[in-house]
Amino acid sequence: LETRQGIGTSGKSSSSLGIAIKRRIQKSDLLETLEFRLALEREAAQLAAERRSNEDLQHIEGCLERCREAAKRSEPQHFIDMDIAFHKSVVKATHNQMFIELYDHITDSLQNLVHELMSGRDPLNDENIIHMDLYEAIRLKDARLAIESVNAYMKKAKESLYTMMEE
pLDDT, one tens digit per residue, over 116-138 is 666 655 555 566 788 899 999 99
Mean pLDDT of the chain: 82
Task: Please give the pLDDT value at position 10.
Answer: 41
Q: What is the pLDDT of residues 139-153, one digit of tens each?
A: 999 999 999 999 998
Predicted TM-score (pTM) of this structure:
0.81
Residue 6 has pLDDT above 50, yes or no: no
b/e per residue 78-110 (b: at least 16 CB within 10 A): ebbbbbbbbbbbbbbbbebeebbebbebbbebb
Between 76-92 and 30-51, two packed helices, what is the crossing angle to 10 degrees? Answer: 50
Residue 46 has pLDDT above 70, yes or no: yes
CB 35 within 8 A of CB 133: no
Write the single-letter amino acid at 47. L
Q: What is the pLDDT of residues 14-28, one digit of tens each?
A: 568 777 777 777 777
DSSP 88-149: HHHHHTT--HHHHHHHHHHHHHHHHHHHHHHTTS-TTTTHHHHHHHHHHHHHTT-HHHHHHH
The mean pLDDT value for 59-69 works out to: 94
**10, burial (CB in 10 Å: exposed 0-12, middle 13-18, buried 19+):** exposed
What is the percent of the chain where pLDDT is above 70?
80
Task: Please give the pLDDT value at position 108.
Answer: 67
Q: Facing residues of 8 across strands? A: 4
Classify residue 53 as left (phi > 0), alpha (psi -120 to 50) or beta: beta
Contacts of 28 (CB under 8 A, 6+ apart): 36
Classify residue 74 as left (phi > 0), alpha (psi -120 to 50) or beta: left
